Structure formats: C-alpha cells, structure tokens
Amino acid sequence: MKIKYIISAVILLLTAQILNARNPERKVELTGGLEWGYTATFYQNHSYIFYDEEGMRVDMVGGAFDYVSNGHILGRLGLRFFNRADLTFNFGYCGIQDARRILTYSLRAGYYYKGYRNNGIFNFLEGGVGGASTFESLPIVFGKIGLGYRIKLNDDLSLDAIISYQMTEDHPKNIEDRDHNIIAYYHQIQRSDIFNSALNFTIALNF
C-alpha cells in the first residue's frame, strides 16, 4: 500500500514540474515535495469509559510519559504565493503509537522568511485527519506546528531539515492497559480517547 502512495506522489510532483516549466515567473506556482523522517511519541493522555466482564462501569483518566519510536513518509502538492507563503495538501503514512500506524490527509500553511526558493528559515501550521483503514468509526485528528531550514540545491530543487510538534487525538476500538491488567473490546466501550504528543524529525525534498 505504501508503494502505491509513493508512486502517486511521484506522478504529482512530475506534473508540478511540467506545469511550472511553462511559466516559471508567475506569482502563483504549483509545488510538490516528499518527506520522510522519525516520529518520537513521548507522552499520552487517555480517557476511557467501558464496562468490565461483570457489567460494572469503569472510568479511567490519566496520563504518562511513554516513549515510542515510529516513522513517517508524506507526499505534498500545493501552491506557492508571492514567493513567501504556500498552502499544501499532504498525504502519507505514519506511526502514532506502538503497533498503531495510520494513513493521513492534511492541509499545511507555511511561511518562508527568505523566500520560497532561497536558503533560510520557515515555519508552518498543519491540521488533518487519518485512520488505520477506511472503516474507522471515528477519524483520527492531528495538528502540527513546525520549524525548518531550507537549503537551495538548484533553481528547481531544495532540501529541508524540519522539527515539529504533533498532537494526535485517537479513538482505538480496543483498550489495553498492561499496567492495570485491563483489556476491553469495542462492544464494551463507551469512550476511548487518547491524546498523543510527539516530536517529528524530518527531511524533505522539494520540487
């Protein structure tokens, strides 16, 4: 499945290159990119309401530091405005917790202090939804705030180093709390909310 998304991203990026070559001086430019990197989830809040095997209602609220390593890969297609700002649609595949990986779709707004094609610092805000499959009962919602540095490779290519903070709201169908020896399945659950905090360390290639 990941291969299919990578191929789609490459096709979109090639389309962006062809369209931009026809009129490279315009103030609105079609752009694209690929991102890949490391995701470090370090904190989790949870709020559970479920019924145990004896039919008793259980309420659990809490939070704890819990370090989990994951990765992410994204494709981007968007518009650059007046050489300073861009708006992109992102699609990809990432991990948010141990054995929990999702497909993501998001919008990102970025600002480039030295210009989109030049060396320099930029930052962005991003928000989107995702799911482990198209059959998720509730969407996974996430937001990011990021800071990066762009290195110009030539007139058409640049490389970014990015660090971002990510908050993800998840609703797993099953609850597993190993510390309290608790397992609850979807037919027992009334509420299953998890909020994950993570740092992303990303390399991006821009077209």
Per residue in 162-173, pLDDT tens? 999 999 999 888
pLDDT level of residue 25 (50, 70, 90 thresholds): low
d(CA 170, CA 136): 11
Q: Give strand pairing partners of 160.
A: 150, 204
Instruction: Tell me what the mean pLDDT of segment 3-27 comes to.
Output: 53
- Between 151 and 11, the more confident residue is 151
Among 31-35, 153-157, 163-167, which stretch is predicted with the lowest mean pLDDT?
Answer: 153-157
Q: Which tens digits make up the pLDDT trace of 90-148?
A: 999 998 887 788 899 999 999 999 999 899 999 999 999 998 754 555 689 999 999 99
Residue 64 pLDDT more than 50? Answer: yes
Both tokens of residue 205?
């290639």
Identify the pLDDT of residue 22: 43
Q: For residue 15, what is the enclosing H or E element?
A: helix 2-22
Confidence at residue 192, expressed as pLDDT on a 0 to 100 scale: 86
What are 70's strand-pairing partners?
A: 39
Q: Which residues of 16-33 are buried (b: 16+ CB within 10 A; e: fewer)?
A: beeebeeeeeeeebbbbb
170, 140, 132, 150: which is closest to 35 by C-alpha?
150
Winning range, highest mean pLDDT, from 54-58, 122-126, 186-190 = 122-126
Q: What is the pLDDT of residue 16?
A: 53
Average pLDDT on 15-32 reads 63
Q: How many Cβ atoms are within 10 Å of 113's Cβ, its own excluded?
A: 11
Residue type, 45: N
Distance CA 46, CA 37 (A): 26
Of the CA atoms within 13 Å of residue 202, those in its CB half-sphere come to 29
- Predicted confidence at residue 142, as pLDDT, reads 96
Provide CB contacts within 8 A for 32, sequence distance 6+: 9, 12, 13, 15, 16, 17, 75, 76, 77, 78, 206, 207
